[in-house]
Amino acid sequence: MQNTKFIVNPAAGANSSRRKWVIILDLLKHLGFHFDYQYTEGSGHAIELAKEAAGVGYDRIVAVGGDGTVNEVANGILNSKYSAETALGIISTGTGGDFIRSAGIPRDYVRACSRLSSLERFPIDAGIIEYHKKGQKLNRFFLNTAGIGLDAAVVANVEKLPKYFGGTIPYLWGLVRTLLGYKNKYVTIKSGGNVIKQRVVSVIVANGGFAGGGMHFAPFAKLDDGLLDTVIVGDMGKFELIRSFPRVYKGTHVTLPKIKLDRTIDISVQSSERALVYADGEYLGEGPARFTLIPAAIRLVI
C-alpha cells in the first residue's frame, strides 16, 4: 500500500465523511497499511487530485466518498496518460452507494479496507457522455449510469436539497418535486443504425445496474460485458409513472409496454426542447447528448 493515494471528500454522506474518515484512518493503520491521503475542497477537485496522483506514480487511487467522488476520481485517472497503470479503489462514505452495488463492493468499512490489500484488478468498461453547458460541448466519463430527461431533472433538484438523508429518500423527494412541472420530451434516438422518434420520460444509459439510491434501473447491465444497456422510458403520464415506480426496485419495470431496452456501444439523443443530462448521480448540463462505450477502460480493486 506504499504506492496508494486516498482522495477523501469530507462533504460526502451528508457532510459525515470527515468523521467517518477518522475511523477509517485508524482502521487502515491497524491493518498495517502505509499510504498518503488528501481532502477535496469542492466540486471537481477530486478530478485534479486523481490526475495528479496518477501522473506522479501512484498505482492505486482510492475514492473515499459517494458516487460523485468515485466519478471524479475515475475521471482523473482516465484523463491521465497513466490510466492503464492506475487502479481505482473505493471506500463508500456517501449516501446513495449505487456504484458499489453494481460492482459488488461492500459498504462495511472493515471489509472494504481489507479488500484494498488485494492484488486482483478487475477491468471494467466506462462510458463517455458528450453534452452541452453554457454553449460549450463537453464530455465526461461515467462508470455506472448516465442519462437525459426526467432522471437528470430529478438529480438537478436533489443537488439543491440539504444533505440530511441518504439512500432513496432524496431521490424520491426530488422525483415528486420534479414531476409537478415536468413535461415529457420529444426526442430522436440514434443507436446502431436505428432511429427512434418519440416522446419520452427519460433515456437512461447504464454500464452498471443501480441508480437513485438502490433502484435496479438496468437489471441486465454488467460492468464488463462491452455493452451499454439503454432503458427508454416512453410517454408515460405522471400517475402511470408513479404506479409503476415500485417495480424499479426489483427490476421488473423493464417488462412494461412503454419501456424499451437496447444494448449498444453508441447512442445519441437529440431534442428540440431543453433536456437535462446527468452522469453517476451528478447533474452535468443539457442535451443533445451522445453516449459511447470504452471497453475495459479502468481497473477496479475488488
- Which overall architecture, per CATH, does domain 126-295 show? Sandwich (2.60)
pLDDT in tens, the chain (302 residues): 559 999 999 998 878 889 999 999 999 999 888 899 999 999 999 999 999 999 999 999 999 999 999 999 999 999 999 999 999 999 999 888 999 999 999 999 889 998 898 878 999 999 999 999 999 999 999 999 999 999 999 988 887 766 666 556 777 777 778 888 899 999 999 998 899 999 999 999 999 999 988 899 999 999 999 999 999 999 999 999 989 989 999 999 999 999 999 999 999 999 999 999 999 989 999 999 999 999 999 999 98
- Using DSSP bridges, classify how beta strands 259-264 and 228-233 pair: parallel, antiparallel or unpaired: antiparallel
Strands 145-149 and 185-191: unpaired
Structure confidence by residue, pLDDT tens digits, 47-73: 999 999 999 999 999 999 999 999 999
- Specify whether the CB–CB gap between 34 and 60 falls below 8 A: no
> For residue 147, what are the CA distances in angstroms to 14, 68, 152?
24, 15, 7
pTM: 0.93
Confidence at residue 169, expressed as pLDDT on a 0 to 100 scale? 72
The kind and range of the H/E element at 206 are strand 202-206
- Are 158 and 171 in contact, with CB atoms under 8 Å apart? yes
Query: What does the pLDDT read at residue 2?
Result: 58
Quote the pLDDT of residue 200.
Answer: 98
Residue 248 near residue 210, CB atoms below 8 Å: no
pLDDT at 24: 95
Grid cell, residue 151, equals 432522471
What pLDDT does residue 94 have?
87
- Distance, CA of 217 to CA of 126 (rounded, Å): 17
The whole-number pLDDT of residue 174 equals 78
Res 161: pLDDT: 67
Return the pLDDT at 273.
Answer: 95
Q: Where are the domains of the chain?
A: 4-119, 126-295
Contact assessment for residue 269 and residue 189, using Cβ atoms and an 8 Å cutoff: yes
**4-119 CATH fold:** Rossmann fold (3.40.50)
Predicted local confidence at residue 41, as pLDDT: 96
**Which amino acid type is present at position 60?**
R
* Model confidence pLDDT, tens digit, residues 115-149: 898 878 999 999 999 999 999 999 999 999 999 99
227-265 CB burial, b ≥16 within 10 A, e <16: bbbbbbbbebeeeebeebeebbeebebbeeebbbebbbb
Per DSSP, the three-state class of 26 is helix
